[in-house]
Amino acid sequence: MGATALPRDLLDWYDRHARVMPWRVSPADRQAGIAPDPYRVWMSEIMLQQTTVAAVKDYFERFVRRWPTVRDLAGAEDAAVMGEWAGLGYYARARNLLKCARAVVNDHGGAFPDTYETLLTLPGIGPYTAAAIASIAFDQAETVLDGNVERVMARLFDIHAPLPGSKPELKARALELTPHERPGDYAQAVMDLGATICTPRNPACGICPWRTPCAARIAGTASELPKKTPKKAKPTRFGIVYLARRSDGAWLVETRPEKGLLGGMMGWPSTDWHEGAPTDQPPCPAKWQVLPGEVRHTFTHFHLILTVKTAALGADSDPGRGFFLDKHAFRPSDLPTVMRKAFDLARNP
């Protein structure tokens, strides 16, 4: 089967089976002339980085209700955006979301650029995201390569070299198939194929539109692919987190530094997180009590175990770091997940 027939067969399948998602224009609407909103495409692609569609849907809908255009988002308060993002993880994405929105407004008149090269100049947009936006939002013939597409290409061409070293070969194969007709729909079709048919385990080869030409199906190796270089074991780090409440109900919180983990997020004062035993560094003098239990959380590169200490503070307390947040302004949902776990432990020791 030739390279021209493959995308055509996949698009025929996509026209019947495209997933319905709040940021997507259906194949029928797109062919009727309804163009995708680049703002919604960009927002979804940033949110979907290292996160599942199921986890993103509610966040996406809340964001676009609150900030329906890129100008609305560019004018938002940083803390409001970080609060809405809380729980979605990888908080550098939220910081770059704001930076990118402001760059689009300030440098591009509020309109997203429509070329891969220019999209790459925006904060938080790398090669994959630039290709996805150019393709899906502007129907440019760019090659989109995410985990789903890598898996499909590895199986379609029976490529056994392990990831990440095989990425260039997988990208070259994907490029061969990227059509100039309906490239935006095609990009979404390949991702849908990987997400719903060519799944990591137990691929549904019997109903796949590329069943006949798939080299791994013919060789019986589909379930083994793609192969991956074994990951190193994650280290475990330790720390102490301090939850203190003033007599009027205000909570002692701090804004984390812009750079680093949870950058720019509101959280509880804590020690540094190291692999050795943490050094006690309370934010102010008080009768600190160690709670039973501990907080466990996993980041991309390490596991974290936190001891939680609590204290009741007087009305005249003057912390060495952080600030008091009025009890009416405090929302646990504004905290990043690891900090919310500490709050939940303190509330239900």
How far is residue 62's CA from residue 279's CA, in Å, rounded to a whole number?
Answer: 40
pLDDT, tens digit (0-9, with 9 covering 90-100), for 186-215: 999 999 999 999 999 999 999 999 999 999
Domain spans of the chain? 5-224, 236-347
Q: Helix 127-138 to helix 38-48 angle, to the nearest 10 degrees?
A: 150
Q: What is the pLDDT of residue 258?
A: 80
How far is residue 346's CA from residue 61's CA, in Å, rounded to a whole number?
Answer: 31
- Of the two residues 86 and 293, the one the predictor is more confident about is 293
Four-way CATH pick for 5-224: 1.10.40.50, 1.10.340.30, 1.10.3720.10, 1.25.10.10: 1.10.340.30
How far is residue 79's CA from residue 265's CA, in Å, rounded to a whole number?
Answer: 8
How far is residue 180's CA from residue 42's CA, in Å, rounded to a whole number?
Answer: 21
pLDDT, tens digit (0-9, with 9 covering 90-100), for 158-188: 999 999 999 999 999 999 999 999 999 999 9
Task: Give catalytic status of residue 45 as yes or no.
Answer: yes
Q: Is 229 exposed, middle or buried (0-12, 13-18, 19+ CB in 10 A)?
A: exposed
Q: What is the pLDDT of residue 90?
A: 81
Q: Which amino acid is it at 274?
A: H
Across residues 259-265, what is the average pLDDT?
A: 82
Look up the CATH architecture of domain 236-347: Alpha-Beta Complex (3.90)
Q: Choose, from 45, 84, 142, 150, the residue flagged as catalytic.
A: 45
Across residues 339-349, what is the average pLDDT?
A: 89
